[in-house]
Amino acid sequence: MISFMIIFSLSDIFAYISRGDSYIGVQISNIIYFLMMCAGSFTWFLFICVKMGYSKSILKLLLYTSAPMALLTVAIVLNPVHGFFFTVDEANLYSRGNGLIITWIVEWGYMIAATTMNIIAAAKEKRSYKRSEYIGYIFFVLPLLLSALLQMIFYGTTTIQIGFMFAIFMVFVIRQSHQAQKDGLTGLNNKNAFLNYRDTFVNKNREYSLC
C-alpha cells in the first residue's frame, strides 16, 4: 500500500505540472492516479481478508474478488478512447467525467466490505488485545472518508493523499503494538501478551489461578 501511495502522490504532482502544457502527460498521470486509488482500496481489502482469516488461499481470494478491480482497470486504461472517467480539452486541462462515480463505487465498495468484515471479526473476538487490534483497523477508513469528502466538495484541492498517509500510519502503529506482544522467532505470545491477558481477569474482578 505504501508503494501505491507513493506512485499515487507522484502521479498527482505530475498531473499538476503537466496541466495546460502536455496532453499526453495529463492523460497518463491521471490514468495512473485513478489506478492507484483503486489499487489502494483493493490492497486494503485483501489485507483485511487475510488478517481476519476469511480466506486461507490467496489465489481463491483474488479469483473471487478481483473482477470489479480488473474491469475497472481495463476501462481506466482505455479512457483516452472513450473519455468516460475524465477528459482533457484542447488547452490540456483536466475535467471530471461521469465515470468518476463508478470508480468511487468500486473503491468504497472494497473499503466498506473490509470494514464490515473487520467489525464482525472484532465482535466475535474474545481476546481483548486481538479485539483492540481489529477495532484499530476499523478506524483506517475514517481519515480516507474525511479527505475524500473534502476533495469532492472543494474541487481542485488535494487531500486524499494526506488521508491515505494518515490511515497507513495508523495501521503501522497498530501493527507495531501487536507485534510487541509476539515472539519474533516463533510467533507465539510473549510476556506482554500474557500480562494483557491477565489484566482482562483483573479488570473484570474475576478469579483466576496462576500455575
Q: No. of H helices and E strands in the chain?
A: 10, 2
pTM above 0.75, yes or no: no
| pLDDT tens string 186-202 | 667 777 777 777 676 66
For 11, 16, 24, 124, the CA distances from 21, given in Å and listed in that order, are 15, 10, 9, 55
| pLDDT tens string 69-115 | 999 999 999 999 998 998 888 887 788 888 888 998 998 899 898 88
**Is residue 129 predicted with pLDDT exceeding 70?**
no
Instruction: Please give the pLDDT value at position 125.
Output: 81
**When comparing pLDDT for 36 and 211, which is higher?**
36
**What are the phi and psi torsion angles at 48 (to 5°)?**
-65, -40
| pLDDT tens string 41-79 | 888 888 888 877 776 666 677 777 888 999 999 999 999
Instruction: Please give the pLDDT value at position 32.
Output: 86
Instruction: Please give the pLDDT value at position 156.
Output: 64
Per-chain mean pLDDT for the chain: 78
**When comparing pLDDT for 137 and 151, which is higher?**
137
d(CA 88, CA 189) in angstroms, rounded, equals 55
What is the mean predicted confidence (pLDDT) over 147-161?
74
**Is residue 149 predicted with pLDDT exceeding 70?**
yes
Q: How many CB atoms lie within 10 A of CB 92?
A: 16
